[in-house]
Amino acid sequence: MAPPFEPHTASALLSSRLNPLQNPNPLNPVFVGAHSRIRRGTRNGGSRYNVLCTAMSPRNMSSSRYAILGAGFAGLSVAWHLLKHTHKGSHVCVDIFDDHGIGGGASGVAGGLLHPYSPKAKLLWKGAEFWKECLELLAVAEQANSVQRVKESTDCVDGGIVLRRGILRPATRQKSVDILMENASSCLESCILETLDEKAAQSLIPGLCAPFDLAIYMPGAMSIQPKRYLQALFSACQNLANDQSKSTGKEIIINLHTQHVSNLQQLSGEYDSVIVCLGARVNTLPELLGKLPLRTCRGIVSELHLPTASRGEYADQSPSILSDAWLAFQGPRQVYMGSTWDWNSENYDQNVSKEECAEATEELISRASIFYPEIRRWSLVGAKAGLRAMPPLTENGSVPLLGCLNDLIGDRTNCMFWLVGGLGARGLLYHGLVGKLTSQAAISCDESVIPFEFIDWKKRMPCIVS
């Protein structure tokens, strides 16, 4: 991976490489800065505004410049889709800004358990689309990871990104048994659900306890190594940029800047679009502080090892476990356990004190031991924390927040600002589709390509000018 640019080189790079404003061409305007609004009806009889660019759209421009704030799931998904879908006849510059580096926020601490279902085994709203787009990005990252390992002549077992061993969800309450069984009858063919009694579940996971003789098994679900995945996805972006540069003869570049962006106006004169993918750190931007319907929730994830002297290794093909706590097994003697829920926290630090680590681990073990008593024999190695941005609950569930931010922040410059936020605890599942939709909106300068359910939050915000 190419080393990130130093902070002081970012502006110089942009000015010297891809800034047609330095050499104005009246036949090829970048943006005229004016926006028009079209009011459209919604299903519930309300209205929404779609933001359109009145100048030539970026797909017809000789160059397109994008800034992405955040190098987590959302940010790297947007980057990939911008590179993939921007017009092939254009010079393209995609700059990612994250002073914490790739996976330095909540994405890097995620448990990585991937499936498209709710805790009651119901297919999530747009679950099939989320699942499909996520699997496509995983395939892209795995391919890039394989290429990198061949280049480095690396054949280590720990180099993989995805563990395809399924996930098991035991019922821990009597009232949820009938609901789980009913929902399990309607599932995706690409991620089927099977109902198992306790004996059948124990054949998959020796030592498992299913107190109500029911467990839902998702054989197609998987566990992801979040940081490895994010590093591989960034490598895939670099590879795509290089391949497109060679095939089109146009300069296609992607950069990672470990540079702090303190406000959006820093970037408005340099880019056509700025896409904010900062998760809970969105509140560090003064233009958006207190303007988004998000709550923060800090979660602690503990890492446990089974001591070498202890018997009872976790079987290589046994699934991970998901219930009131989750156990994401990484090998026969390594597991990640999570997660705690500390609402309205303002602590962005991934590091956890010894006292907090011990307290959180004991809380998680007390939950996990209900369905897997053997976990009490495992030893604590350490813990990390992530601060998630949680969206409001809607009739469709917890839906991420997407859309154009110019009206919200009162910006009338020649730059368009976009949001990908509120992915909550399902950022891994959501990131593929929301990144694709937002990149399409940014490329076309048209918010209407995003389904209205993702933008519905805006009409309830009094600070947005209608």
The stretch 384-398 carries a mean pLDDT of: 96
Q: How confident is the model at residue 48, as a pLDDT?
A: 40
Q: For all residues of the chain together, what is the average pLDDT?
A: 86
pLDDT in tens, 223-277: 999 999 999 999 999 999 999 999 989 999 999 999 999 999 889 888 999 999 9
Closest listed residue to residue 449, CA positions, set 383, 403, 408 = 403
51 Cβ contact partners less than 8 Å away, ≥ 6 residues apart = 35, 37, 404, 406, 407, 416, 445, 446, 447
Listed range (8-12, 35-39, 99-103) with the worst mean pLDDT? 35-39
Residue 20 vs residues 61, 63, 84, 272: alpha-carbon distances, Å: 10, 8, 22, 11
Bridge partners (DSSP) of residue 52 are 36, 446
Position 143 pLDDT exceeds 70:
yes
- Percent of the chain having pLDDT more than 90? 74
CA angle at 427 for the pair 422 and 430, rounded to the nearest 5°: 95
Q: How confident is the model at residue 462, as a pLDDT?
A: 66
pLDDT in tens, 409-438: 987 678 999 999 999 999 999 999 999 999
The stretch 287-295 carries a mean pLDDT of: 94
Amino acid at 31: F
Helix (H), strand (E) at residue 13: helix 10-17
pTM, rounded to two decimals:
0.86
The stretch 205-218 carries a mean pLDDT of: 96
The stretch 181-187 carries a mean pLDDT of: 93
Report the residue count for the chain.
Answer: 466
Position 6 pLDDT exceeds 60:
no
